[in-house]
Amino acid sequence: MKTLLSVKNLKVNFYTSAGTVKAVDGISFEIAKKEIFALVGESGCGKSTTALAIMRLIPYPGKITEGSIVFENKNLLNASEDEMAKIRGKKISMIFQNPLTSLNPVYRVGDQVAEAIVLDNIPKKAAWNKVIELFKGVKIPDAEERVYSYPHELSGGMRQRVMIGMMISREPSLIIADEPTTALDVTIQAQIIKLLSELRDTLETSILLITHDFGVVAELADRIAVMYAGKIVEMGDVYQIFENPLHPYTGMLIDALPRITKREGRLKEIPGSVPNLVNPPLGCRFHPRCPLKKEICKMKEPSLVEIEKGHFVACHLYGG
């Protein structure tokens, strides 16, 4: 498979008044063409920061301090602002959690999507027709009329469809979807998951899925990287991660999800909470919460090693 995006040793720091927050601390991964790759983790693990780094949209006081992000054979970290402007939206587009804050409330949704299409030197009339086609493609009912709606006139699920329509309008090769279904209800979530998976097949796009929800990952992703406190702790294909999780954190996180009734037993807890990234724990960052920790975990940081084909883990239990 051909690699579309390759992130190597990426580091992002935020220089706050409380100290330097190492939000992303040396992560590496690759996304192949047509692949759905998921970054999963709890709040503050660095998954959204990674997405913003790929778009080169890290806000002040954050900074990319090290690493490379190679997209279609070009290191985005060396690209000029003009070059980035051409890549954003055209080559890489991004879907956010809350479509209401990403859409402009005072413009009709059709105009907003057409605005993106005319950037490719397509005449207005043709662009408008393309918007209607796109709306049909993302299964918006009555597309011919819906293009005249304002965002507040649409439901949450419809707004997210508009956003997806806008993001695929210029046929990007990578879509970054940051918690695309988190703000939606269960029945609507199922519809959007189905839509995203169909888009991958029809448009042959790659998707970088950012989420905290293992359920969505199990339904959609091909490969997964689990993040904890700015690091990737485990990476593998969806079956390896769900059926043979190696890192204690991955296993405990999946087990902490209620899959049982209270009569069948007690939920497995992960003690404590995620660490402060200004002063992360020494050694393995998970060691204060890990029931399997050894002496070495407190001193030496484990590195990500390949245990079986395509299955990587950063844990001293496996030699890390």
Q: Which is nearer to other proteins, 128 or 135 (CB)?
A: 135
Is the C-alpha dihedral spanning 146, 147, 153, 155 positive or negative? positive
State in angstroms the smallest separation of the CB of 86 from other proteins.
36
Amino acid occupying residue 242: F
Residue (135 or 214) nearer to other proteins, CB: 214
Q: Tokens 């965002």 label which residue?
A: 151
Interface residues toward other proteins, by CB under 8 A:
42-43, 141, 155-158, 185-191, 193-194, 212-216, 218-219, 221, 238-239, 242, 252-254, 256-262, 266-271, 273-274, 289
* Closest separation in Å from C-beta 220 to other proteins: 8
| CB 318 to other proteins: min, Å | 22
Cis peptide before 280 (omega within 30 of 0): no
Q: Measured from the CB atom, is 107 or 242 closer to other proteins?
A: 242
CA distances from residue 297 to 7, 37, 50, 60, 157 in whole angstroms, order as listed? 26, 29, 26, 33, 45
The nearest distance, CB 64 to other proteins, in angstroms, is 26
Q: Is 274 or 307 the residue whose CB approaches other proteins more closely? A: 274
Instruction: Indicate the pairing of strand 36-40 with strand 62-71.
Output: unpaired
* Beta bridge partners of residue 19, listed in sequence order: 16
Q: How far is the CB of 160 from other proteins (least distance, A)?
A: 11
Q: How far is CA 253 from CA 83, 237, 260, in A?
A: 40, 17, 15
Q: Compare residues 63 and 194 and give the one whose CB is closer to other proteins.
A: 194
